[in-house]
Structure 1
Amino acid sequence: MNALGFLIEVLFGLALMAVVLRFWLQAARADFYNPVSQTIVKLTNPLLLPLQTFLPSKGQWNIAALLLAFLVAAAKYVVLSLMLNGALNPIAISIISLVAVINEFLTLAFWILIIRAILSWFSQGHNPAELIMMQLTEPFLRPIRNLLPPMGGLDLSVLLAIIAIQFIKILLGDLFGVM
């Protein structure tokens, strides 16, 4: 049963990651023609397009993608619950699914910031993946940079963002007992 549980976790986790990225790419107004964006769009379109027919986007906010992320997280917990004990609590599954979507966003933000920081030491900035990472993270790094005093070329905004992300993840874990 552990192997099947692992497989379910991985498959639903990858699907949730793709849908959260789809929502985030549109919210950040990232380059739609970037190869990374195109891959995410093509991966999520089969499930997202039917939802978008009755839940259109509101400006930069793709409500259908947000709903799909919640549904993917809920489906994961329903399958795992049925596999483990067969008991379903709709309220608990709803709360855990909402927290899972928030946690997925925070986890993605954490790893994108880490990868972006490491790439800044070596890369010249001409990689499509690096461009997307910059477009995704700049909307929340810019306000942090505006609050920090000049440090002589040292950018501590990524460090502060990572600390904030980890704080929120720990807080969610303390409040909801999941993560």
Structure 2
Amino acid sequence: MGSPLTQAGLLLVNAIGSLVLLIVMLRFLLQLVRADFYNPLSQMIVKFTNPLLIPLRRVIPGLGGLDMASLVLALAIQYVIMALILMLAGYGTGMPFVAMIGWAAVGIIKLLISIYFWGMLIMVIASWVAPGSYNPALILINQLLEPVIRPVRKIMPDMGGLDLSPLVVILGIQLAEILILYPLKQVLQVPSGLIMGL
């Protein structure tokens, strides 16, 4: 179980690491979907990530519209978090470097799936309780999710004004988690509770 100090350390690493990782992945996704740069939340994300990303971009160029520097930074953060967790858990420095890179990649996939799952859930609830809201967070979530929802909406039959495409996307996200994430965890033998993700 570990000492109270170890438990406190693990809690801090998990909480702070998850938040930083989430912000970096949001930077990658918002740039990918060309979200509104002037949205206050976009500005906050950019200001938070720029000190690390600007120097990294000098070394790692973009690739086909993908912000590779953000992805590399997210992988590095995931790796550092896992290393800290393992050290706090008493494994010292004898950690499998190559395996941990694979574990970090699984963590990024898990976080991406979680971002889209929770984003869809928030949008569905917001459409019931605050339709047409101009809240900056909801606008940003909508911009992030629209490229995923739009193709599904096009092939869905007309339901008389009832849009079921978010529910179909949520189902698709859960299937992706079962069919992609779980097998990857099995193949790479990812220790339970080690990778970050919402």
- Name the TM-score class by shorter chain: over 0.9
**Partner secondary structure for residue 13 of structure 1:** helix
Aligned to 2:109: 102
**Partner secondary structure for residue 25 of structure 1:** helix
**What number of residue pairs does the alignment pair up?**
179
Which of 83, 89, 94 in structure 1 is aligned with 2:88? 83
> Are 2:106 and 2:184, in contact at CA under 8 Å, matched by a contact in 1?
no
Tell me, yes or no, if structure 1 residue 92 matches structure 2 residue 99. Answer: yes
CA deviation vs aligned residue, 1:42-76 (integer Å, no higher than 9, x gap): 11111111101122334531110011011111111
User: What is the rounded CA distance, in whole Å, between the counterparts of 1:83 and 1:170 in structure 2?
Assistant: 30
Letter in structure 2 aligned against 1:26: Q
Structure 2 unpaired stretches of 5+: 1-5
**Partner secondary structure for residue 53 of structure 1:** helix
Alignment CA distance shift 1:2-1:112 (3 Å): same
**Partner secondary structure for residue 113 of structure 1:** helix
Deviation at 1:96, TM superposition (A): 0.7
User: What is the rounded CA distance, in whole Å, between the counterparts of 1:21 and 1:2 in structure 2?
Assistant: 28
Letter in structure 2 aligned against 1:46: P
Tell me, yes or no, if structure 1 residue 150 matches structure 2 residue 132. Answer: no
User: What is the rounded CA distance, in whole Å, between the counterparts of 1:175 and 1:58 in structure 2?
Assistant: 25
Tell me, yes or no, if structure 1 residue 2 matches structure 2 residue 10. Answer: no
Tell me, yes or no, if structure 1 residue 161 matches structure 2 residue 169. Answer: yes
Aligned to 1:49: 54
> Are 1:56 and 1:63, in contact at CA under 8 Å, matched by a contact in 2?
yes
Aligned to 2:184: 175
Q: TM-score w.r.t. structure 1 length?
A: 0.93
> Are 2:123 and 2:142, in contact at CA under 8 Å, matched by a contact in 1?
yes
Identity of aligned residues (%): 40
Structure of higher RCO (CA pairs closer than 8 Å, 6+ residues apart): 2
CA deviation vs aligned residue, 1:67-96 (integer Å, no higher than 9, x gap): 101111111111112222122101210111
Question: Within 5 Å, which residues of 2 pair with 1:106-121?
Answer: 106-121=113-128
**Partner secondary structure for residue 32 of structure 1:** coil
Q: TM-score w.r.t. structure 2 length?
A: 0.85
User: What is the rounded CA distance, in whole Å, between the counterparts of 1:147 and 1:100 in structure 2?
Assistant: 31
Deviation at 1:32, TM superposition (A): 0.5
User: What is the rounded CA distance, in whole Å, between the counterparts of 1:169 and 1:3 in structure 2?
Assistant: 30
User: What is the rounded CA distance, in whole Å, between the counterparts of 2:46 and 2:155 in structure 1?
Assistant: 34
Structure 1 unpaired stretches of 5+: none
User: What is the rounded CA distance, in whole Å, between the counterparts of 1:130 and 1:153 in structure 2?
Assistant: 21
Letter in structure 2 aligned against 1:72: I
User: What is the rounded CA distance, in whole Å, between the counterparts of 1:68 and 1:39 in structure 2?
Assistant: 18
User: What is the rounded CA distance, in whole Å, between the counterparts of 2:63 and 2:178 in structure 1?
Assistant: 31
The Cα RMSD (Å) is 1.5
Letter in structure 2 aligned against 1:145: R
Which of 130, 141, 158 in structure 1 is aligned with 2:138? 130
